[in-house]
Every structure is written in structure tokens, then in C-alpha cells.
């Protein structure tokens, strides 16, 4: 691959007692890619995200991010290295305002210590001003600037997903992991999200990996897909390749459907 490597997982496994949620996953992401991770429910997609971001310690395997091993690091540390995520079950800071939710994202990279924050020393004040500016820009980007003083939990579902993206972007990531960003969105919102995601990749030099069940969204957006089933990779390739892969069709529709000439998912 000509492009520089951003993330490499080799033999990454996660076992919960007798259940192997993810089984010896080999996975690479190059800088600037827009890739998708799909598979039926319970395939191990979110567990994969949890292992990438340090929330779930892998049972075995290696994980390199930006050329360094990140297994065993705290999620906060991994985030500071440049990996941010959103959550499948939205996890906003409900009682904080929309603006504050985004501002929290900047805190991990704050240089000023708490004493200079208490005394409002010039260094801290400058950082704080910059945070507010950037937060407003990010809210503008995802289209929530009119709601910046509302409580986060008062937003509509689709808006909450956008706010999670803005908050993740505030942490200054190189790699953005989106866990079902389109879930609960109507078709217009989904189309807007697709534009936003493509825009982020093109203009902010981000690498994006997303999990999604909305097949039309994934097929139109992602350049490369990895399909998981029962914790194992069953197919990789472009959306077209994956769509016609017999193993994928079987995983989604079952063996009989394939025998009956069933359609590929989302086709």
C-alpha cells in the first residue's frame, strides 16, 4: 500500500469467558481512508472499537496506532494520541450544554494546569478563548450552532449523534471511529451525515472508520469494507466486491436465501 499506515491490528482477539467476541482480527487502516466495518448483530464490531480505543483489553494480539503499541494504555491516553470515537448508545454529558459538551473534548489537550485555571493566568485564558472559538466552529460544522446553549439531552436523537461527532472532533483526532452514526436518523439527516463524513475526511485530513447497519449509507460512502461475523472477518474489499461475496450474503440472509438466489444486503 502506498499510503502511510495509521492503525494495524494483528491477531486481535477478545474472549468473554467461553464466548469469543473477536477472533484473531487482522486489520489495517491507511491515512486518509474512509472505511467501514459491517456485519450482523453480535458480530463483534463494537467490541473491536472498544479494543481499539482501550476500553476493552484484548485477550491476545497486537495493536499499533501511529507506529506505537497501544495495548494497555488508558482510553484517555489513546484519545490524546489521536483516536476519537462516538458511541452506539449515545453517551453525551446530559446535564451540560451543547457547547460545554464540545468544550470538554478540548480538555484532554489543555496545557495549563489547574492552578493557572483557577487564577485565570494569561496562558490559560488564551487557551480557553481558543477553545470557545474552535467549539463554535465545530458546532457550525455539524449544524448545531443555534442550539449551543441547550442541554445536551434536550436535543433530538439525530442531533445528539451529530453532537457526539463534534465532541469527538474537539479532541483533535487523526482517526475517527463512528459507531452507527446514522442509527435513528431520517433519510434527510442520513444524507447530510454522509456529506459531513466525506467532508471531514477530505478537508480535515481525517481517517474514518465507521460501523453502520444502513447499507445504502455504507455502500455509497465507504471505499473499503470489512465484514465481521461471529468475530471473524468473512470478507474484505470494495463495497461492490463485498456485496457479491457469497459468504456475506450467507451471513446476512442465511444459507437458504443464497440457495434461492437471494439479494445481497442493501442492493
Partner 1 sequence: MSRRGWFQPGPLPAANTTRKRDTRLTILGCLAAAAGLYLLEGHADPYIVHMTCIAGLFAVLAVSYNLINGVTGQFSLEPNAFVACGAYVTALLTLSPDEKAASFILEPIIWPLSVISIPLLPALIIAGILTALMAFLMGFPVFRVRGDYLAIVTLGFGEVIRVVANNAQSLTNGPLGLKGIPHLTNLWWAWGLLAVTLFVIVRLVNSSYGRALKAVREDEVAAEAMGINAFWHKMLAFTLSAFFEGVAGGLLAHLITTISPSQFTFMFTFNLLIIIVVGGLGSTTGAVLAALLFTFGGEWLRAVEEPMSLFGLDIPGIPGMRMVFFSLILVGVMLFMRKGLLGRYEFSWRWLFALFRRRPAS
- Helix, strand or coil, per DSSP, at residue 142: helix
**Which residue's CB is nearer to partner 1, number 66 or number 253?**
66
CA-closest candidate to residue 244, choices 209, 208, 219: 219
Does the protein bind partner 1 through residue 84 (CB under 8 A)?
A: yes
According to CB under 8 A, which residues from 221 to 260 bind partner 1? none
Does the protein bind partner 1 through residue 97 (CB under 8 A)?
A: yes
Task: Give Cα 73 to chain centroid, integer Å.
Answer: 18
Between β-strands 224-229 and 232-237, what pairing exists: parallel, antiparallel or unpaired? antiparallel
Determine whether 191 is exposed, middle or buried from the number of CB atoms within 10 Å of its CB (0-12, 13-18, 19+): middle
Whole-number Å distance between alpha carbons of 89 and 180? 9
According to CB under 8 A, which residues from 155 to 194 bind partner 1? 167-168, 170-171
**Which residue's CB is nearer to partner 1, number 167 or number 201?**
167
**Which residue's CB is nearer to partner 1, number 171 or number 190?**
171
Query: From the DSSP assignment, how many helices (H) and strands (E) are in the chain?
Result: 10, 10
The one-character DSSP state at 143 is T
Q: Give min distance, CB of 120 to partner 1, in A.
A: 7
Whole-number Å distance between alpha carbons of 45 and 127? 37
Q: Give min distance, CB of 171 to partner 1, in A.
A: 5
Stretch that binds partner 1, among 106-114, 208-216, 237-245, 255-263 (CB under 8 A): 106-114
Does the protein bind partner 1 through residue 118 (CB under 8 A)?
A: yes
Determine whether 52 is exposed, middle or buried from the number of CB atoms within 10 Å of its CB (0-12, 13-18, 19+): buried
The number of residues that bind partner 1 (CB under 8 A) is 46
**Which residue's CB is nearer to partner 1, number 95 or number 256?**
95
**Which residue's CB is nearer to partner 1, number 113 or number 238?**
113
Whole-number Å distance between alpha carbons of 226 and 25? 11
**Which residue's CB is nearer to partner 1, number 26 or number 150?**
150
Q: Which of 19, 60, 72, 132 binds partner 1 (CB under 8 A)?
A: 132
Whole-number Å distance between alpha carbons of 228 and 225? 10
Cα angle for residues 57, 211, 96 (degrees, 5° grid): 75
Q: Which of 100, 137, 189, 250 binds partner 1 (CB under 8 A)?
A: 100
Please give the residue ranges that form the binding site for partner 1 (CB under 8 A): 53, 55, 74-77, 79-80, 84-85, 87, 91-97, 99-100, 103-110, 112, 114, 117-120, 124, 127-128, 131-132, 149-151, 167-168, 170-171
Amino acid at each position: 500500500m502506498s499510503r502511510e499506515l495509521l492503525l494495524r491490528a494483528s491477531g486481535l482477539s477478545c474472549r468473554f469467558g467461553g464466548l469469543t467476541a473477536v477472533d484473531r482480527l487482522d486489520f489495517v487502516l491507511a491515512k486518509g481512508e474512509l472505511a467501514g466495518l459491517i456485519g450482523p448483530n453480535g458480530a463483534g464490531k463494537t467490541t473491536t472499537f472498544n479494543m481499539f480505543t482501550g476500553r476493552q483489553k484484548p485477550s491476545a494480539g497486537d495493536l499499533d496506532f501511529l507506529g506505537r503499541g497501544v495495548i494497555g494504555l488508558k482510553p484517555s491516553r489513546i484519545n490524546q494520541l489521536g483516536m476519537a470515537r462516538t458511541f452506539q448508545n449515545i453517551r453525551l454529558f446530559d446535564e451540560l450544554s451543547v457547547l460545554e459538551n464540545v468544550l470538554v473534548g478540548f480538555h484532554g489537550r489543555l496545557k495549563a494546569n489547574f492552578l493557572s485555571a483557577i487564577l485565570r493566568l494569561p496562558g490559560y485564558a488564551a487557551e480557553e478563548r481558543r477553545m470557545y472559538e474552535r467549539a463554535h466552529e465545530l458546532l457550525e460544522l455539524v449544524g448545531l450552532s443555534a442550539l449551543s446553549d441547550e442541554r445536551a439531552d434536550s436535543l433530538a436523537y439525530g442531533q445528539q449523534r451529530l453532537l457526539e461527532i463534534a465532541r469527538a472532533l474537539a479532541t483533535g483526532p487523526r482517526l475517527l471511529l463512528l459507531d452507527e452514526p446514522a442509527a435513528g436518523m431520517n433519510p434527510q439527516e442520513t444524507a447530510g451525515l454522509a456529506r459531513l463524513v466525506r467532508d471531514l475526511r477530505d478537508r480535515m485530513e481525517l481517517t474514518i472508520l465507521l460501523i453502520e447497519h444502513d447499507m445504502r449509507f455504507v455502500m455509497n460512502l465507504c471505499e473499503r469494507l470489512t465484514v465481521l461475523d461471529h468475530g471473524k472477518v468473512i470478507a474484505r474489499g470494495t463495497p461492490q466486491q463485498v456485496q457479491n461475496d457469497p459468504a456475506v450474503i450467507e451471513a446476512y440472509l442465511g444459507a437458504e436465501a443464497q440457495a434461492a438466489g437471494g439479494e445481497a444486503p442493501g442492493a
